[in-house]
Structure 1
């Protein structure tokens, strides 16, 4: 019962547990993936960046410090995470540097060619159709734009006490193949840490 409850909270944090317990767990648990993802996005002044599944808003806040006159947008379908992330990013939101949306990326309306980079950490397991989501990411990127997806590899995920009806683990090889299949070039895998269990995969939209 706990395994299923925690897995559902990982997918979509809710209630007081989501706001006050899950948020702290995920802040710590996602730290190394988030750090690597931010480094690979390499946000610059004037960039427009989108994070899918922003969770506690940690990455949004870090990139908000980097984009200057640009903007960092985020979308997440968790009410609890929206509450936490808005509070954490209130300074950037007031300045118009951060915009947060409550919703699902697959059904959200973003203009084609809107972003210099799109990133997401530990959400790919929950996408209903990962190939379709990757294709939509490709569409909303500007020519030359970058995608960065951070996740725990399937082999490791399957050894963890998680409900595999909620999580759908993805291997690093499958993620790379998926990006290539929807048109990304220069696709690469970047190991995070020394255990060979966590990766960031990147790809570029051709100019």
Structure 2
């Protein structure tokens, strides 16, 4: 699926926070491009049922059917900056929202909301690149997790990401060794990496091998 925008800098900004007339198309493009990575990330939750989950950057929420197929009785809270994506996620998950199984919240800046409960798992796919104060932000997530809770991140390889034409603004990539150093300095007890590759189509229609990782980071 090709992106609906040809200007690479504009595309990069839209990937960070879809907005305007093309927001819905951008959301569909993000999901199509990242579906395999999202589902692979979800596979590492080791859900037993009954967990409370927090997701940062849920886009149009089309992946939630896969998430809810993994275990019964889970409770999901999602934080997303893009209002059009929140609207699409509610349309795409109307039944889950009516059941009270999901809550969609709009994020404001890099300050996370306070919650009455803690979360077993926090997860996010292709979003850490946009965080400006990395340690402060993920310290908030650390504090939202239960004891022995986990943060699970899906993300593309640093060298691959930096070569993409739309990442020249708003994206900051880290090596796996640097990510491990940062998360352990925040207070997480362990950082485990799983490596994958997938075939995707570039903007010009060529097949490209994209390396990506899933990091399981334990409190």
Q: TM-score, normalised by structure 1?
A: 0.90
- C-alpha RMSD of matched pairs (Å): 1.9
**Structure 1 regions of 5+ residues with no counterpart?**
none
Distance (Å, rounded) in 1 between the aligned partners of 2:148 and 2:116: 13
Distance (Å, rounded) in 1 between the aligned partners of 2:116 and 2:101: 20
Distance (Å, rounded) in 2 between the aligned partners of 1:106 and 1:149: 17
Q: Does 1:198 align with 2:203?
A: no
Q: Does 1:180 align with 2:180?
A: no
Distance (Å, rounded) in 2 between the aligned partners of 1:187 and 1:23: 30
Distance (Å, rounded) in 2 between the aligned partners of 1:108 and 1:58: 23
> Which residue of structure 2 lines up, in the alignment, with residue 133 of structure 1?
137
| Post-superposition offset of 1:9 | 0.5
Contact 1:154–1:170 (CA under 8 A) maintained in structure 2:
yes
| Post-superposition offset of 1:112 | 7.7
Q: TM-score, normalised by structure 2?
A: 0.86
| Post-superposition offset of 1:46 | 0.8
Matched length: 204
Distance (Å, rounded) in 2 between the aligned partners of 1:192 and 1:56: 24
- Single out whichever of 147-156 and 186-195 deviates more from structure 2: 186-195
| Post-superposition offset of 1:89 | 1.0
Contact 1:112–1:139 (CA under 8 A) maintained in structure 2:
no
| Post-superposition offset of 1:113 | 6.2
The structure 1 residue matched to 2:18, chosen from 13, 19, 26, is 13
- Single out whichever of 60-69 and 115-124 deviates more from structure 2: 60-69
Distance (Å, rounded) in 2 between the aligned partners of 1:104 and 1:118: 18
Contact 1:55–1:85 (CA under 8 A) maintained in structure 2:
yes
Q: In 2 relative to 1, CA 60–131 (structure 1 residues): closer, same or farther, beyond 3 Å?
A: farther
Q: How does 1:134-173 map to 2 (within 5 A)?
A: 134-173=138-177
- Single out whichever of 44-53 and 155-164 deviates more from structure 2: 155-164
> Which residue of structure 2 lines up, in the alignment, with residue 23 of structure 1?
27
Between structures 1 and 2, the one with greater helix share: 1
- Single out whichever of 184-193 and 7-16 deviates more from structure 2: 184-193
Distance (Å, rounded) in 1 between the aligned partners of 2:47 and 2:114: 20
